Amino acid sequence: MKNVLFVGYGPSAVQAAKDLVGSLPADYRIVAITSNEGYWPPAALRAAVVPGWEDKPLACVDAAFPQDGRHVMLKMTNVVELRKNSVVVDKAHPDLGFEADEIPFEYCVLAMGSKYPYPCRPHPSSSFSQTLDDLRQTQSEVSRSQQILIIGGGPVGIEFAGEVASHYGKGTKEITLVHSRERLLDQSGWKEKLGRSLRGQLEGYGVRVVVRRKVVDAPEKTGRIEGGREFHLDNGEAIKADFVFLATGNAPNSDLVASFDSSVLNDSKHIKVNSAFQVEGYEHIFAMGDVTDVKEGKQYAHAKNHGSIVASNILALIQSPSASTASLKSYKPGSNLILVSVGPWGGAGQIFGFVPGAWFSALVKSRSLFVSDFKKLYNVA
């Protein structure tokens, strides 16, 4: 069997596999390698705060995987080395026909996503049950804490602040969000009105928002601090907290590629791909999703579209191995859009230049966090 190998099995990879499975020649199969079960970051923050939500961002990858006998899912497995025509994994799977730890491929799809502190991503190599336990533990820690410090005022920090404030109610907990930049969401492309709306909603819940300041002695990970302690801003101010949430540190999960060929990474460590999602210099290796240098927001709506393009191009190359990149399907980066929740009934966004507020955000995203789309993609009822 010739292998079309996936490294990572997040939403973009699931979409690509679904598009491939019905059209692959009989001598080809999909081999998917994933260190975790399916995970849905948009629902993870609520799952870490609100009891009863812990199962919402989780799905077993088996249900989303083609089950016609040919294809192979290697769960709880890590790729430790990428080679030109094979990968090395951290364990053999003799029960699935892989006696050795090296797996050859005809085509490889790199879909490792991005690195972000827990709970935006599960702890590495966590099982389904362990991730459930972790989220319940975080819910308990948040419940027992009174002074919550959130470091980072991007979408993740804003959404976590909104989840805690809306779930527990104004004045119940002392919540402080510290952001190093001039205003919330002040990156290029986002209107000032967007950050202003989100800040106003947070402050309406009693959240204290501090901008243009850094926490100089931040802890290494999110979690409860028994007894509390003081943290210091770069202006000397002290903030006491017994729970700290880190909303910084988002980065492409490209270490595997860096050790293979660092020349295919840009300055921000994203993988350089062409319009067909082929990795620069390697026509048989594709990359998609958050790990790529595609000039668009790193969002599920875009990544899902990547999957269909990659699947189409792999099929084209199987049918005509000498096909040029010019003959493959080309991807046009998606529009600049975002929706940021502030609890289940608030939020704001920017869509095609418009800045809708709480009512629209609640209707489209905040109440559901697109959980039904995630479950449908992974074939979970």
Tens-digit pLDDT profile for residues 317-346: 999 988 888 899 999 998 888 999 999 999
Indicate whether 185 and 242 sit together in one domain: yes
116-136: per-residue pLDDT in tens?
889 999 988 888 999 999 999
| Torsion sign over Cα 239, 43, 122, 256 | negative
What does pLDDT average to over the chain? Answer: 93
- Asked if the structure places residue 82 within a domain, the reply is yes
Write down the pLDDT at residue 283.
Answer: 95
Sheet with 102-104, strands from edge to edge, namely 79-82, 86-89, 102-104
Q: How many CB atoms lie within 10 A of CB 266?
A: 13
Indicate whether 196 and 88 sit together in one domain: no
Query: Residue 300: pLDDT above 80?
Result: no
Closest CA to 220 of 209, 206, 231: 231
Indicate whether 238 and 260 sit together in one domain: no
- Asked if the structure places residue 123 within a domain, the reply is no
Q: How many CB atoms lie within 10 A of CB 128?
A: 18
- Asked if the structure places residue 282 within a domain, the reply is yes
Q: What is the mean pLDDT of residues 261-280?
A: 97
Indicate whether 23 and 89 sit together in one domain: yes
CA-CA distances (angstroms) from residue 117 to 1, 122, 159, 341?
Answer: 38, 8, 15, 19
Indicate whether 289 and 343 sit together in one domain: no
Indicate whether 344 and 222 sit together in one domain: yes
Rounded to an integer, what distance in angstroms lies between the CA atom of residue 192 and that of residue 211? 14
66 is written with which tokens? 């083609």
pLDDT band with cut points at 50, 70 and 90 for residue 250: confident
Write down the pLDDT at residue 97.
Answer: 79
- Asked if the structure places residue 354 within a domain, the reply is yes
Looking at residue 372, which CATH number applies to its domain?
A: 3.50.50.60
pLDDT band with cut points at 50, 70 and 90 for residue 186: confident
Write down the pLDDT at residue 282.
Answer: 97
Write down the pLDDT at residue 321.
Answer: 87
Query: Residue 381: pLDDT above 80?
Result: no
Question: Poorest-confidence range of 58-67, 246-255, 310-319?
Answer: 58-67
Write down the pLDDT at residue 192.
Answer: 94
Instruction: Note the pTM of the prediction, 2 decimals.
Output: 0.93
- HEC secondary structure over the chain: CEEEEEECCCHHHHHHHHHHHCCCCCCEEEEEECCCCEECHHHHHHHCCCCCCCCCCEECHHHHCCCCCCCEEECCCCEEEECCCEEEECCCEHHHCECCCEEECCEEEECCCEECCCCCCCCCCCCHHHHHHHHHHHHHHHHHCCEEEEECCCHHHHHHHHHHHHHHCCCCCEEEEEECCCCCCCCCCCCHHHHHHHHHHHHHCCCEEEECCCECCCCCCCEEEEEEEEEEECCCCEEEEEEEEECCCCEECCHHHHHHHHHHECCCCCECECCCCEECCEEEEEECHHHECCCCCCCHHHHHHHHHHHHHHHHHHHHCCCCCHHHCCCCCCCCCEEEEECCCCCEEEEECCECCCHHHHHHHHHCCCCHHHHHHHCCCC
- Asked if the structure places residue 122 within a domain, the reply is no
Question: Poorest-confidence range of 26-40, 88-102, 236-250?
Answer: 88-102
- Asked if the structure places residue 155 within a domain, the reply is yes
Question: Poorest-confidence range of 20-24, 147-151, 322-326, 356-360?
Answer: 322-326
- Is residue 120 a contact partner of residue 154, using CB atoms and an 8 Å limit? no
- Asked if the structure places residue 186 within a domain, the reply is yes
Rounded to an integer, what distance in angstroms lies between the CA atom of residue 126 and that of residue 131? 6
Rounded to an integer, what distance in angstroms lies between the CA atom of residue 200 and that of residue 194? 10
Residue-number span of the structural domain to which 302 is assigned:
2-35+76-116+251-327
Write down the pLDDT at residue 353.
Answer: 86
Indicate whether 140 and 229 sit together in one domain: yes
Write down the pLDDT at residue 177.
Answer: 98
* 347 beta partners: 341
Query: Residue 296: pLDDT above 80?
Result: yes
Indicate whether 279 and 355 sit together in one domain: no
Indicate whether 233 and 256 sit together in one domain: no
- Asked if the structure places residue 44 within a domain, the reply is no
Closest CA to 290 of 276, 271, 308: 271
26-76: per-residue pLDDT in tens?
999 999 999 988 899 999 999 999 999 999 999 988 888 887 778 999 988
Write down the pLDDT at residue 64.
Answer: 87
Write down the pLDDT at residue 134.
Answer: 97
Write down the pLDDT at residue 203.
Answer: 98
Write down the pLDDT at residue 95.
Answer: 78
Query: Residue 297: pLDDT above 90?
Result: no
Indicate whether 103 and 209 sit together in one domain: no
Write down the pLDDT at residue 219.
Answer: 94
Indicate whether 152 and 301 sit together in one domain: no
Torsions phi, psi of 367, nearest 5? -70, -40
Write down the pLDDT at residue 380.
Answer: 85
Rounded to an integer, what distance in angstroms lies between the CA atom of residue 286 and that of residue 277? 5
Indicate whether 97 and 208 sit together in one domain: no
Domain count along the chain:
2
Write down the pLDDT at residue 149.
Answer: 98
